[in-house]
Amino acid sequence: MGYAASAYILWGALPLYFVALLPTGPFEVVALRILFSLVFCAILLTVMRGWRAFLGLFRSGRVMLAMAIAAALIFVNWQTYVIGTLSGHVVEASLGYFINPIVTVFLGVVFLHERLRGLQWVAVGISILAVIVLWVAYGNLPVIALVLAFSFGLYGLMKNRVGTRVDAVSGLTLETLFLAPVAAVELVWVGMTTGIVFGTAGATNVVLLIGSGVITAVPLLLFASAARRLPLVYMGLFQYLAPVLQFIVGVVIMREPMPPERWVGFGLVWLALIVLTVDMVRHSRSVRRRTLELT
């Protein structure tokens, strides 16, 4: 459980890390995050002797297509998250990851033709009501939250398609390799408009920007280690830790406004997650019981 807790705590603390990168802008942050993640992953592949497995991915056109789509989706997710964090929308960003499990259930119905159980339908209905309430509370659709939830949900769908054929390090290496040209274009654009901050804002800023590659890869590796050791139901429960921490950072540390109507909307989201969790635990116990009866 330590691996899972560590991964989600690091993800939960990301808003503080990105705010510490100021005055670097969101586009430069994401571009450097991509490039330094690629460098860090290349070092990891060398240390772990994983180059043969990584290069073997290029022999499958289907895997390459799925990973290219995954790279595009994670780029949208990263860019939206950093823009949200650096523009004072940490709470709304946390909302995106709160509703992500429900979006994942919805995507399973649309793309995998899965059938929802009764409590899952209830959770989806409550979450739709929550989005409507938050729409009214924010005065517009919580676009940042919805983009984060759907981009990460679709990203998970693409990763599910490749399954165990792509390990965590090789996957992140391939995704950042695909995104390296995008990062280069972003840096050129930033240089031509606002100017590159990297190297001009002190040694601490440089170290933190370089460290963005590490802070991207390490939680992913911890998560992969936890996923191999823990039952799915425990991983499902741990996934709520990151948005809870992000929400606390937004409300307590960043002091973002939370009028009563937003509390109502978030309350509905949390109620939907409770319903979804109860269903997940009940279903897991039912499957385990049937398995024991058959053995």
Which conformational region is residue 163 in: left (phi greater than 0), alpha (psi within -120 to 50 degrees), or beta? left
What does the pLDDT read at residue 203?
Answer: 93
Amino acid type, 53: A
Q: What is the arithmetic mean of pLDDT over 229-245? A: 71
Distance CA 293, CA 295 (A): 6
Q: How far is CA 48 from the centre of its chain?
A: 25
Q: Which long-range contacts (CB under 8 A, 24 or more apart) does 133-138 make?
A: 133/261, 133/264, 133/265, 133/268, 134/95, 134/262, 134/265, 134/266, 136/261, 137/259, 137/261, 137/262, 137/264, 137/265, 138/92, 138/262
Which pLDDT band, with edges at 50, 70 and 90, does 166 fall under?
confident
Distance CA 155, CA 73 (A): 6
What does the pLDDT read at residue 187?
Answer: 96
Phi and psi of 34, rounded to 5°?
A: -65, -50
User: With contact defined as beta carbons under 8 Å apart, do 32 and 183 qualify?
Assistant: yes
The single residue listed with the structure tokens 């409590």 is: 119
Q: What percent of the chain shows pLDDT beyond 70? A: 93
**Exposed, middle or buried, 84 (CB in 10 Å: 0-12/13-18/19+)?**
buried
Tokens of 112: 């995998």
> Out of 31-35, 111-115, 287-291, which region has the weakest mean confidence (pLDDT)?
287-291
Amino acid type, 23: P
What does the pLDDT read at residue 267?
Answer: 92
User: With contact defined as beta carbons under 8 Å apart, do 271 and 278 qualify?
Assistant: no
